[in-house]
Structure 1
Amino acid sequence: MSAQVGATRPAAAPLLELRAVSREFRLHDGRKLHAVSGVDLAIEPGQALGLVGESGCGKSTLGRLCARALDPTRGSVHFDGRDVTRLDARELRALRRSVQFIFQDPHSALNPRMSILRSVSEPLILHTDLRGARLRAQAAELMEMVGLPAQFLGRYPHELSGGQKQRVCIARAIALRPRLLVLDEPTSALDVSVQAQILAFLKDLQSRFQLSYLFISHNLAVIRALCPRVAVMYLGRIVEQGPTEEVFVNPRHPYAEALIDAIPVPEGRQPPRRIALQGDIPSSIDLPRGCAFVSRCGKASAGVCDVAQPALYASGPAHGVRCHLYAPSA
């Protein structure tokens, strides 16, 4: 039937590549919390990859691993062909220019005691020799890029709306012309109308500067609008990844099916549900012996799903599924 694959990667050389990446946290009682487990992932230059899953599944931890804000417990993270887990301090500083983070809450991402000029200029002060009038001119240009007037540079965060603050955060993130942005729920703290404006702006920004995005969200409608590829995460593992439209129209993994079935649609157009989630998410400390989804899956087979962790199997071109249903012998 389906051939086994170690990872589902684009054909082009990836800008970012995770190889069997795991991250564990040691708790005070000596036990381990398994936040990310054996993840393989790749993002091409200029590509936007969506990462979706329930709260607590490890999405934000994975984003921090990509930006090397965290080091993996096992595995390696490669940026532009280099293993970033082996970089020295000078090389890591150079990486910071190429990989930037945009956080969920713009209110807490900006220092309330810093002017907007200082916030936007901070990366330029740290990484370039721009000062004085040249620094202010560059900050004004960044503000123009994100659709804000240069007069805002003299203001403080409390004088701006939520959407304006997030634009300031984006201006700061693109100040060094990075190649990859890790966006961790960048619109979830904003009103719906403002969300749409920010998403449209991010899409335009990506096109203008050929940016790569890792876009983390629990909102599948946002991912569908912005990202041509999607990876579905459950309890620290990628359980399905592939072209976004293909995954949305014909999800293979039972968990992906349940997530997509739960997307709201206009009244009277709701299709029959294929699968409903059962029970609670298992503990990230005491992981199930077999498939992580076994306790909530209506398609699980006793003696198979509860015994062995499934590999990532090919389910079509550039489409992988971590499920025993797609094993070659299935």
Structure 2
Amino acid sequence: MIETISEWFWWDRLWLPYNLTWSDLEDKEGRVYARVSHLYITVPLAVAFLVVRYLFERVIATPWAAWLGVKEPARLKVAHNPVLEVYFNSHSKNPRQADIEGLSKKCSLTARQVERWFRRRRNLDRPGVLKKFREASWRFAFYLCASIGGLVALYDKEWFYDTRQMWVGYPKQSMLESQYWYYILEMSFYWSLLFSITCDVKRKDFKEQIIHHLATLILLSFSWCANYIRVGTLVMIVHDTSDVLLESAKCFNYAKWEKTCNSLFVVFAIVFMITRLIIFPFWVIHCTWVYPLDHYPPFFGYYFFNAMLVVLLLLHIFWAYLILRMVKKFLFGNLTKDERSDNEEDEGESSLTEDYDGQPKVTNGSSVGGFANHH
């Protein structure tokens, strides 16, 4: 059964254009082609990335945070209360009003005191600023290196400037060493993000992040196996460019360098809109949707690859919506700290102020870097 499933999965008609088979992609005549076995190394490399990240966050990110003046805000401790603690851990961290009244009777506390206990207890569980800074600085370091490496690998390639050249001779296009390492390291990094996502700071777009990482890995894996490597390199560099600006804006936001953060965020928003909503659909997707038909009739892999690109585009539109919300609040006032992150709740409030998805928000913030945690 496994052999049958494997034969169906690797059926030539699913992956390659009509009249082409896997034998056409065997190493010969000086050409070297990508192999699925090459991707096996991405998993151990992802683990290596996690080790490097651990060392980076403690040896480089922590001293950098201290130099920038990143400080953990003081958090009020809560009095030990077994009844409330059991409810907090086993039932809900946000009890309903009826539950609050019941708990107040059990603990001989007022409803306001119970609300305050849960508010402080939630704040204790929220990740600190230093943890957020470490994560952002690690991603900034990788995206910066990946962007520079991508430009070095692509700047002298004709298809980087003329996307019609992308399909000349496809699929008999030899894989370059620079493409190999660009792909392997990028995929290993995204695997490491998936492995650590449950331990990292959880954002409101947690599900969208998982979809994004999986879509990216599936897209890169398919493009690798089907020899869509040239297109894959363009997709990666388009994504990495704006991420460098975003992660750097986050770092300065956590350090409360508001002017620097705001400036970086504005530049990031512009670059994001240009790369993700203009270049990506009208350059990259157009290149994969229109030009291949000049060389071969459409096949399953053609539709599948473009469908995955559209999934990424939809995620870009979702994040662009969040960015525009931040820009709107920045221009017209009433800016919250973050459209995506769990902010600490105001101790002076007697009840929670709920944001659009039910998460607490702070209404006295002023930094545009509060978008602080878009992918």
TM-score (norm 2): 0.24
Q: Going by fraction, where is helix more abundant, 1 or 2? A: 2
